[in-house]
A and B are shown apart, each in its own frame.
Chain A
Amino acid sequence: MSHQGYRLLYWLLPLAALALLTGLLVGSVQISPGEAWAVLNGQGDPLHQTLLLELRLPRVLAAFAVGGLLAIAGALMQLLLRNPLADPYVLGLSGGAATGALLALLSGAGAIWVSGSAFIGALVSTLLVFGLARLSGNWNPLRLLLTGVVLASGWGAMISFMLAVSPSRELPGMLYWLMGDLAYAQGFALPWFTLLLVLLILQPLGRSLNVLSRGSLQAASLGMAVPRVEGLIYLLAALMTAVAVTVAGSIGFVGLLVPHALRLLFGYDQRLLLPACALAGGSLLVLADTLARTLLAPQQLPVGVITALIGVPAFLWLLSRRAT
């Protein structure tokens, strides 16, 4: 089983490469593979150089990293809450980030401030959920989930309030942020750094994570320091989600769908699942973003719309498969 799993994992590598290539070559302006090759050799048309290297490459790289972050965060949340239907936003993280970002947009602040406020909002939300859940003694997945759901509703109310009172001219920008959009992504260094850092930390812990999925009492009886491990998972998932949402807004379905679908292929072994999530999540988001850029070109769609359009039928199909 394990060897078969690794073989499948290796298939994901060329898939990821193909997705990246597609993202680079496809756009609202046609660039042939020959012209792209010329650019990579340093001899291409300056316009194509700008298009490929300054516009498409950073966006595609950002999309890949964000997709990977969301998928892994989703897998970790599903493990932490012992619930295959959890996603990275279930504990209200994206709500906090959205509130921060919308506040910055409302006050007319620049793009850096919007990202910074989003990140701070996500951290505040994380601490709030953690703190509130611990208020009445030991926290368990159910208490965490309930606290997170309530907090998410609270953020939702604040977001609705801001949307209601903001000048109508600000609304399109705010809505695109809420739907998730890679057009405003400021660079790819931060998400890539976070993604690699987290994978580095989690890969050796993979076997321990597998034990955790048997339940906290069972894991504790097998010698695991359950609160510490769960705390680490929560913090890592929160960090990844915060970075992803800061860069590209609340893109939905990737964090829910990718780990779920991959578990059908790879089983639940976190040592296979987490790197697979990184590769598959990244590929999916790159392809979705490419569609968002080109489906109605020159009209641009936010990538969150595409992930939802793909996500809903895909999820229904997955559910029907599980029933058998």
Chain B
Amino acid sequence: MSLFWLKTLLLAWLLTFSSWSAADIQVTDAAGRSIHLEHPAERIISLAPHLTENLFTIGAGDRLVGTVSYSDYPEAALDIPRVGSYNQLDLEGILAKRPDLILAWQSGNPASQLQRLEDLGLKIFYSEPRNFADISREFLALGQLTEKNRQAEVAADKLDNGIKSLIESHADKSPLSVFYQIWEEPLMTINGEHLISEMLRTCQGRNIFAAAASLTPRIDRESLLEADPQVILGGSQGESNPKWLKNWQAFSELQAVQAGNLFAVNSSLVTRPTLRSLAGTQAICKHLDKAREQLSEAAD
């Protein structure tokens, strides 16, 4: 008798849950627009490498039916069919994959092509993460869209907690003036609004060009020599001693060179707004810690 009631209760419970999952999904994207799905997205196209990566992070990578070139992390992403590049989309290819959701990069994808897709009735979710909080929000939004809420929360928490602990552990460290180089010829860096600057701030690093007007300004070596940063950081493909680093050795009047504070960070860890940004920040913090050591040694 009680078994019968248990089953009924269970059935009622399941029915309630199934009607919940049949409920509409409503998410607000980075452009402030409201995306409305009737059921979780099954066929997703990602128009930026970071979006592909973030989808895999929350466990929805298998829902991807198309992505753009340079989507190379994780390795499984290499097998996803391509639909052009982030700035030149193959509209036919996108349509042919019959997606029910498109993840777009607001500042990277061409607006007119995205408009065409919208006019043809496709749903587009705009992504534009500029800081850690944005990345966490993106995980949660993607989780809602694919009904992977739990994994999304795990990822968001991992990022939030990771960054929080780094901030806490570095709160008392002495601030360092840092120059972050994103390109050598011409010499380019980032300003305070860039994600990398937030990474630096986390480790008590101060971007000497934070106040620059453009997001990725081109600067001359003179202003760098004048600012005389304590640390010089730059990207690499994985090697620890890239060419640009060696080129700075010639400028022996820089205190960064004298103290040996020239460090390379794996580019893909810091240029893509993904969960690996945590690893990137950790790498930067490690370099800055080493820099503090070397500076105090040089002072002795």
**A295 at interface (Cβ–Cβ under 8 A)?**
no
B68-95 CB mask vs A (1 if < 8 Å, else 0) is 0100000000000111110111111101
Contact present for B89 and A300 (CB under 8 Å): yes
Contact present for A300 and B112 (CB under 8 Å): no
**A29 at interface (Cβ–Cβ under 8 A)?**
yes
**A153 at interface (Cβ–Cβ under 8 A)?**
no
Q: Which of A27, A55, A173 contacts B110 (CB 8 A)?
A: A173
Contact present for A47 and B96 (CB under 8 Å): yes
Contact present for B108 and A169 (CB under 8 Å): yes
Q: Which of A28, A110, A168, A300 contacts B111 (CB 8 A)?
A: A110
B32-90 residues at the A interface, CB under 8 angstroms = 69, 81-85, 87-90
Q: Report the tally of A-B residue pairs with Cβ distances under 8 A.
A: 74
Contact present for A184 and B113 (CB under 8 Å): yes
Given A50-B120, A176-B87, A298-B84, A169 and B107 contact (CB-CB distance below 8 Å):
yes
Contact present for B96 and A299 (CB under 8 Å): no
Given A47-B98, A184-B112, A299-B84, A27 and B92 contact (CB-CB distance below 8 Å):
yes
Instruction: Determine the main DSSP class of B at the interface with A.
Output: mixed
Bound-state Cα–Cα, A29 to B92, Å: 6
Closest Cβ of chain A to B66, distance in Å, is 9
**B214 at interface (Cβ–Cβ under 8 A)?**
yes
**B216 at interface (Cβ–Cβ under 8 A)?**
yes
Residues of B close to A27: CB separation below 8 A: 92
Q: Which of B89, B95, B112, B218 contacts A186 (CB 8 A)?
A: B112
Contact present for B112 and A47 (CB under 8 Å): no
Q: Which of B81, B85, B115, B120 contacts A300 (CB 8 A)?
A: B85
**B215 at interface (Cβ–Cβ under 8 A)?**
yes
Residues of B close to A165: CB separation below 8 A: 214
Bound-state Cα–Cα, A42 to B83, Å: 28
Contact present for B216 and A298 (CB under 8 Å): no
Q: Which of A111, A168, A173, A298 contacts B90 (CB 8 A)?
A: A298
B100-127 CB mask vs A (1 if < 8 Å, else 0) is 0000000110111101100010000000
Residues of A close to B92: CB separation below 8 A: 27-29, 51, 55-56, 293
Residues of A with Cβ closer than 8 Å to B? 27-29, 47, 50-51, 54-56, 110-111, 164-165, 167-169, 172-173, 176, 183-184, 186, 293, 297-302
> Across chains A and B, which 4 residue pairs bring their CB atoms closest together, nearest first?
A172-B87, A298-B90, A111-B112, A300-B88
Q: A183-B88, A186-B112 are in contact. List 4 more A-B contacts (CB 8 A).
A: A47-B98, A54-B120, A298-B83, A300-B85
Residues of B with Cβ closer than 8 Å to A? 69, 81-85, 87-93, 95-96, 98, 107-108, 110-113, 115-116, 120, 188, 214-216, 218
* A–B Cβ pairs within 8 angstroms, 8 of them: A50-B95, A55-B116, A293-B90, A297-B93, A298-B83, A299-B88, A301-B88, A302-B88
